[in-house]
């Protein structure tokens, strides 16, 4: 079976990361950010998952995506009752995972040409 290398030339993918930053093309993100294949990384004012509010979650629902991946920082965190209520009301699925896993999952979905939004909390 022949294997072909996937080309991500026209898709914004995460090229590398360490504990405190993420590299996306020529951009180095050292604070939490939003990323989609359709737009460049944007600063996201969430310093830790404990500070992630329902208002910030609702703002993510205003963006265009089929899959939302929220990187919760260095450890996987799960949404509390207030966030779960918003998720149930909106009726859309959101994946919560540690930020390293979120970076990998984002890349897989972006290269597969899925409409994905990564909301990544740093540090990893």
The CATH code of the domain that includes 22 is: 3.40.1230.10
| In a domain? residue 81 | yes
Quote the pLDDT of residue 8: 57
Domain total of the chain: 1
Q: What is the domain range of residue 99?
A: 16-120
Instruction: Quickly tell me which residue has 């359709």 as its tokens.
Output: 38
Residue pLDDT, tens place only, 50-96: 999 999 999 999 999 999 999 999 999 999 999 999 999 998 889 99
| pTM of the entire predicted model | 0.90
Angle between helices 81-90 and 54-61 (to 10 degrees): 20
| In a domain? residue 3 | no
- At 81, which helix (H) or strand (E)? helix 81-90
Task: Give the number of other Cβ atoms within 10 Å of residue 70's Cβ.
Answer: 23
Distances (CA, A) of 102 to 3, 8, 68: 25, 18, 10
Q: Check if the beta carbon of residue 104 is closer than 8 Å to that of residue 2.
A: no
């Amino acid at each position: 079976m022949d294997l072909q290398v996937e080309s991500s030339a026209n898709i914004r993918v995460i090229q590398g990361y360490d504990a405190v930053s993420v590299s996306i093309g020529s951009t180095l993100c050292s604070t939490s950010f939003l990323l989609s294949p359709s737009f460049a990384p944007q600063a996201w004012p969430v310093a830790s998952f404990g500070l992630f509010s329902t208002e910030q979650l609702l703002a993510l629902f205003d963006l265009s995506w089929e899959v939302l991946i929220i990187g919760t920082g260095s450890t996987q965190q799960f949404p509390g009752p207030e966030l779960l209520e918003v998720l149930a009301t909106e009726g859309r699925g959101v994946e919560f995972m540690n930020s390293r896993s979120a970076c990998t999952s984002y890349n897989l979905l972006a290269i597969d040409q899925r409409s994905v939004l990564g909301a990544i909390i740093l540090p990893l």
